[in-house]
Amino acid sequence: MTSGTFARRDRGTIVVAETSDRALLREFLETDRLYSAYALCDLDDREFMRTRWGLATAASKPIAVVLQYAGYAPQPIFVMGENVGIAAILESVIRPRTAYVAARTEHLTAISANYKIDPGPPMVRMWVDGAHFRPFAGDARRLLPVEIGELNRLYQLGFAAWLPANAISDGIYYGIRVGGRLVSAAGTHVISKQARLAVVGNVMTHADFRGRGYATAVTGAVTAELLRFCDQVVLNVRADNPPALAAYRRLGYQVNVTFEERLIHRTEPPWSGWAETFRRLFSRKES
């Protein structure tokens, strides 16, 4: 751990600090493997350099974790564990001004201690493994890196951001073409061969070609490829999207948990931490 502070807890004192101890984080995250799938994948070397982790412990045992992922605006954060630990980490260790948080509904109380939470629809985490997966027939073909331009033109219809050039080479993407035109695609958000987990995402079908089973076909093709080396594959879908929920159920996906993805804004004034910063600076000069 690189820094620490203390907070009171019903059962005694908790310690909150930033950590880079991947073994300790993995052990805690594995207690809720499907919910923490993104975070577990982010422990791999390629992703870990983009992350910051806050950990709360009591009697030297982890009780909560907050992950902050760099490179996006607003930055994504993930929370897991006891509310008192989550609140303490967000108070003093992981402190983004604005963030996009993934959290169980019961964690919103802890987050609201330091953040204003925007409204939003609940999300559903779904999962599948080799025993439950049901392949879906379709003319889906694996996409090549040279096709990134076409993929981004399709995604521009419904997504705010474009994929980087290495998205296809680092991940797994399948698409369906009609008359030579890419009209449907699905891919991966993150893959961990170490955790044997992967997250499917970026599922999109052109509006003129919906209702033909294309989204199910491309998602199924990506899932089948991932299950060659993953124990479980997960994905997120809005709870108010029955067609997508039905499509994923046809592939054997099951509901793991309903959770929240919300934009949050820190409620304290931007100068609130200056006094402590100045105190530390001047105490160094005097020593």
Token pair 């797994």 in the structure block, residue? 172
Looking at the fold, whether 92 and 173 belong to one and the same domain comes out as: no
Reported confidence tier of residue 1, pLDDT bands at 50, 70, 90: very low
pLDDT digits (tens, 9 = 90+) for 149-208: 999 999 886 555 578 888 999 999 999 999 999 999 999 999 999 999 999 999 999 999
Domain count, the chain: 2
Q: CB-based contacts of 34: which residues, under 8 Å, 6+ apart? A: 125, 127, 232, 234, 256, 257
pTM of the model: 0.86
Is 99 among the domain residues? yes
Looking at the fold, whether 113 and 172 belong to one and the same domain comes out as: no
Question: Which residue would you say has higher pLDDT here, 6 or 242?
Answer: 242
Is 115 among the domain residues? yes
**Is 14:58 a contact under the CB 8 Å cutoff?**
yes
Looking at the fold, whether 8 and 115 belong to one and the same domain comes out as: yes
Torsion angles phi and psi, residue 111, rounded to 5: -65, -40
Is 209 among the domain residues? yes
Burial class (CB in 10 A: 0-12, 13-18, 19+), 225: middle
Looking at the fold, whether 117 and 12 belong to one and the same domain comes out as: yes
Looking at the fold, whether 143 and 230 belong to one and the same domain comes out as: yes
Is 31 among the domain residues? yes
Domain that holds residue 25: 3-123+261-286
Longest dimension (CA), the chain: 75
* DSSP class per residue in 182-230: EEEEEEEEEEETTTTEEEEEEEEE-GGGTTSSHHHHHHHHHHHHHTTT-
Range with the lowest mean pLDDT among 157-166, 247-256, 267-276?
A: 267-276
| Token couple for 25 | 């984080």
Q: CB-based contacts of 36: which residues, under 8 Å, 6+ apart? A: 29, 30, 78, 80
Which residue, among 75, 106, 121, has the nearest Cα to 265 in the 3D structure?
75
pLDDT digits (tens, 9 = 90+) for 97-154: 999 999 999 999 999 999 999 999 999 999 999 999 999 988 999 999 999 999 999 9
Is 13 among the domain residues? yes
Looking at the fold, whether 153 and 246 belong to one and the same domain comes out as: yes
Reported confidence tier of residue 7, pLDDT bands at 50, 70, 90: low
pLDDT at 60 over 70: yes
Is 41 among the domain residues? yes
Say what the pLDDT of residue 287 is.
Answer: 43
Looking at the fold, whether 27 and 105 belong to one and the same domain comes out as: yes
Question: Which residue would you say has higher pLDDT here, 7 or 239?
Answer: 239
Which residue, among 84, 47, 110, 129, has the nearest Cα to 262 in the 3D structure?
110
Is 217 among the domain residues? yes
Looking at the fold, whether 73 and 11 belong to one and the same domain comes out as: yes
Please state, as a whole number, how many other Cβ atoms lie within 10 Å of the Cβ of residue 111: 23
Looking at the fold, whether 112 and 146 belong to one and the same domain comes out as: no
Following CA atoms 115, 119, 120, 126 in sequence, which dihedral angle do they give, to the nearest 10 degrees? 50
Looking at the fold, whether 110 and 45 belong to one and the same domain comes out as: yes
**Is 187:200 a contact under the CB 8 Å cutoff?**
yes
Looking at the fold, whether 104 and 192 belong to one and the same domain comes out as: no
* Residues 42, 48: Cα–Cα separation, whole Å: 5
pLDDT at 249 over 90: yes
Check which CATH number belongs to the domain holding 9 and give it: 3.40.630.30
Q: Tell me what the mean pLDDT of segment 239-247 comes to.
A: 94
Looking at the fold, whether 149 and 215 belong to one and the same domain comes out as: yes
Is 128 among the domain residues? no
Average pLDDT, the chain: 90
Reported confidence tier of residue 71, pLDDT bands at 50, 70, 90: confident
Say what the pLDDT of residue 162 is.
Answer: 74
Tallying the residues shown for the chain, one arrives at 287
